[in-house]
């Protein structure tokens, strides 16, 4: 899930949202010195965001299936749930026969998770710990835990950088020989879409707003990828696999990546934007469980991430758009993503080559 930073103030990278010496609701200045990290976790303390995640059935049922239909993996095992939220995955693990589940979350939702676990009579198995996964201590002994479960995926897979925390947890707490990550595989894809109408509404709109030129905002709109649902009919190129992550073995340094792509027109059409989406797999299940967030698949709250191009490319069937996409956590706010998109198109009707920086925030 991705907390919407627009609602939390995180986009501003706000360091201390209130002025010095201000007391609000009886809290002193120190308590009110909120950092962008606090805003991030704060956004997860509201039940609304958890409601959206739980109601995303593609997401939640995939976790449920991969846990409950694989009792042979869980029976008598020790499990760590990184970012437990309401405790849903921890409770699945307990139902699947886990001996002990550590459910860790730094956000205020952990207080609800404690009550939920108790209300469901699972508090003898599930221990909810409120704290940052990077800082908590678990009494699981030298061998560590047998399984780490986590729903860490953000928009564009990597937005919010929670994968970093999952890798920290893996290296610190997962049994080095036999430990299992669930899920353990993620793949990112890119494709081109025809999207004249939406580009008109979201980008060109700023050229003339009730007779005024607001095209300065158009520039901002163009540099911010849009998270939206794309109709599969608009996809006018082949998809291309961009990146593949093995969460069980990847290094922290591989979270930022650079990948080449080559996509081919599947019909004569215009390409207004490139979209990126991801697939998730629980490959250690008896029968691997997977789901896709692509436009061809059932709706998920991750939707697709759209990068509008400055050019409208006139693409003929069989012509190629190639390029490179590189991502980096933003230096000022590591939960923001800077994404560099470089592409070249040499079609019969048009030639174009550009490099642009987008920021997902
Ligand atoms: C996408 S939600 C998933 C919640 C729940 N597991 C579910 O599937 O419904 C991620 C949760 O991870 C928590 N989280 C993110 N980074 C964390 C960290 N470093 N330490 C502890 N909790 C973290 C957030 O507060 C949030 O509640």
Residues of the chain with CATH 2.70.160.11: 186-360
pLDDT of the chain, 361 residues: tens digit per residue: 554 433 333 323 332 222 333 333 344 444 445 555 666 777 888 898 889 999 999 999 999 999 999 999 999 999 999 999 999 999 999 999 999 999 999 999 999 999 999 999 999 999 999 999 999 999 999 999 999 999 999 999 999 879 999 999 999 999 999 999 999 999 999 999 999 999 999 999 999 999 999 999 998 899 999 999 999 999 999 999 999 999 999 999 999 999 999 999 999 999 999 999 999 999 999 999 999 999 999 999 999 999 999 999 999 999 999 999 999 988 888 778 999 999 999 999 999 999 999 999 8
Q: Which atom of ligand 1 is nearest to the CA of 109?
A: 27
Quick check: 41 and 24 in contact, CB under 8 A? no
The residue contributing the CA closest to ligand 1 atom 4 is 85
Q: Which atom of ligand 1 is nearest to the CA of 54?
A: 9
Residues of the chain with CATH 3.40.50.150: 29-182
58-85: b (≥16 Cβ within 10 Å) or e: bbbebbbbbbeebeebbeebbbbbbbbb
Let me know the angle formed at the C-alpha of 94 by 88 and 100, rounded to the nearest 5 degrees: 115
Superfamily per CATH, domain 29-182: Vaccinia Virus protein VP39 (3.40.50.150)
pLDDT at 46: 87
CB neighbours (10 Å) of residue 282?
Answer: 24
CA of 44 to the centre of ligand 1 (A): 8
Write down the residue that tokens 């642009």 correspond to: 356
pLDDT at 29: 41
CATH number belonging to domain 186-360: 2.70.160.11
**Of 80, 105, 89, 90, the residue nearest 3 (C-alpha):** 105
Q: Which atom of ligand 1 is nearest to the CA of 83?
A: 12
Tell me which of 53, 81, 162 to substitute to probe ligand 1's pocket, judged by most ligand atoms within 8 Å of the beta carbon.
162
CA of 272 to the centre of ligand 1 (A): 35
Phi and psi torsions of 240, nearest 5°: -135, 130
């Amino acid at each position: 899930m991705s907390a919407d930073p627009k609602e939390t103030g995180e986009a501003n990278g706000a360091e201390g949202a209130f002025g010095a010496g201000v007391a609000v609701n009886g809290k002193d200045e120190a308590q009110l010195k909120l950092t962008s990290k606090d805003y991030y976790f704060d956004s997860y303390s509201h039940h609304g965001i958890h409601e959206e995640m739980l109601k995303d059935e593609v997401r939640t049922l995939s976790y449920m299936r991969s846990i409950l239909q694989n009792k042979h993996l869980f029976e008598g095992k020790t499990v760590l749930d990184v970012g437990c939220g309401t405790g849903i995955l921890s409770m699945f693990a307990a139902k699947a026969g886990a001996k002990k589940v550590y459910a860790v979350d730094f956000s205020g939702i952990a207080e609800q998770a404690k009550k939920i676990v108790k209300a469901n009579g699972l508090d003898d198995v599930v221990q909810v710990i409120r704290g940052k996964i990077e800082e908590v201590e678990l009494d699981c002994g030298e061998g560590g835990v047998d399984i780490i479960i986590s729903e860490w995926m953000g928009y564009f897979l990597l937005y919010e950088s929670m994968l970093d925390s999952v890798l920290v947890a893996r290296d610190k707490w997962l049994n080095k020989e036999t430990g299992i990550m669930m899920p353990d595989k993620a793949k990112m894809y890119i494709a081109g879409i025809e999207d004249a109408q939406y580009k008109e509404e979201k980008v060109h709109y700023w050229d003339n707003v009730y007779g005024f030129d607001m095209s300065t905002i158009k520039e901002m709109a163009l540099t911010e990828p849009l998270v939206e649902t794309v109709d599969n009919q608009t996809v006018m190129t082949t998809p291309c696999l961009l990146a593949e992550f093995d969460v069980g073995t990847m290094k922290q340094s591989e979270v930022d990546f650079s990948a080449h792509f080559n996509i081919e027109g599947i019909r004569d059409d215009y390409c207004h934007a490139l979209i990126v989406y991801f697939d998730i797999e629980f490959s250690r299940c008896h029968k691997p469980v997977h789901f896709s967030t692509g436009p061809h698949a059932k709706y998920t709250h991750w939707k697709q991430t759209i990068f509008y191009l400055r050019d409208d490319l006139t693409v003929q069937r069989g012509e190629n758009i190639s390029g490179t996409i590189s991502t980096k956590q933003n230096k000022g706010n590591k939960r923001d993503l800077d994404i560099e998109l470089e592409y070249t198109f040499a079609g019969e009707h048009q030639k174009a080559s550009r490099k642009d920086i987008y920021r997902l925030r």
